[in-house]
């Protein structure tokens, strides 16, 4: 599991150095040593491990919302409310981008 993760990071880093990057961010999740595991590999080959991750434009808008509200003992209702807030912010930003 971890070996495939490092292979993915090295592959993205190697392609970036050849000026032909894969324009993708991969989220990898599972269990490692009977503990939940979540990691991300971006187009630069950067490997990030954390309790929660976001990709794309949500990295700029939703990440601060989750960061301010996340705690270790989060209930399902609290998590749902945080996600609804994130999607509302992303929706309003998308609606503001339309020229109508």
Contact 55/25 with Cβ under 8 angstroms? yes
Q: What is the pLDDT of residues 45-80, one digit of tens each?
A: 899 999 999 998 888 999 999 999 999 899 999 999
Structure tokens at 99: 């020229």
Q: pTM value?
A: 0.73
Contact 82/65 with Cβ under 8 angstroms? yes
Half-sphere exposure of 100 (CA within 13 A, CB side): 5
Q: What is the pLDDT of residues 3-52, one digit of tens each?
A: 777 888 898 899 989 999 888 888 989 998 899 999 999 989 899 999 99
């Amino acid at each position: 599991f971890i070996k495939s993760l490092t292979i993915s990071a090295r592959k993205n880093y190697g392609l970036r150095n050849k000026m032909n990057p894969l324009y993708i961010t991969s989220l990898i999740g599972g269990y490692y040593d009977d503990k939940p595991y979540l990691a991300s590999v971006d187009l630069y080959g950067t490997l990030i491990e954390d309790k929660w991750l976001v990709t794309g434009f949500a990295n700029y808008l939703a990440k601060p919302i989750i960061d301010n509200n996340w705690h270790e003992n989060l209930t399902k209702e609290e998590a749902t409310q945080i996600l609804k807030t994130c999607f509302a912010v992303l929706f309003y930003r998308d609606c503001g981008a339309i020229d109508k």
